[in-house]
Amino acid sequence: MLERTFVYLKPDAVRRGLVGEIIKRFEGRGLKLVALKMKRMTREEAEELYKEHRGKSFFQKLVDFVTSSPVILMVLEGPSAVKVVRHTVGATDPLEAAPGSIRGDFGVNVTKNLIHASDSVESAQREMSIFFRDMEIEDYPLPIEKDLVLEG
């Protein structure tokens, strides 16, 4: 039940000043930030992160975009964190994303869709290990987590 997921805020989220707004939404859902940093993603990291999409028509454009300026990388923890985060983020194409989701409220187009979130616990583990060492992932008590776990 308790899961960790990998999220990063793409260059458009940082350039548009939406970092606080987006992190606030995850905190509001009771998710715990257990790792956080800003950096410029290298092409190697972006190609590794998106390797399942290698060869697709949008691959180079995606890698160019996500390496164009700094991103905010994070690991979030909580019950069913992968699903909770994907739901909070919304559909890949902002045109399809529900109002109230991050992409549905702020997304501009499918490349500039603000944010990445892992789609499974296995992807999350693989993706977070590209950017974080185990020792960079912190743990600390978050009062709300007891309620979230108890209520199942």
**CB of 110 or CB of 142, closer to ligand IDP:** 110
- Rounded Cα gap, residues 22 and 10, in angstroms: 11
**CB of 105 or CB of 136, closer to ligand IDP:** 105
Distances (CA, A) of 57 to 66, 114, 127: 16, 20, 22
Least CB distance to ligand IDP at residue 141 (A): 31
List 116, 117, 124, 127, catalytic entry: 116
**Quick check: is 116 catalytic?**
yes
Backbone phi, psi, residue 140, to 5° = -165, 155
As given in the structure block, the two tokens for residue 80 are: 């069913």
**CB of 32 or CB of 116, closer to ligand IDP:** 116
Footprint on this chain of ligand IDP (rule: CB under 6 A): 53, 58, 62, 92, 110-111, 113, 116, 119
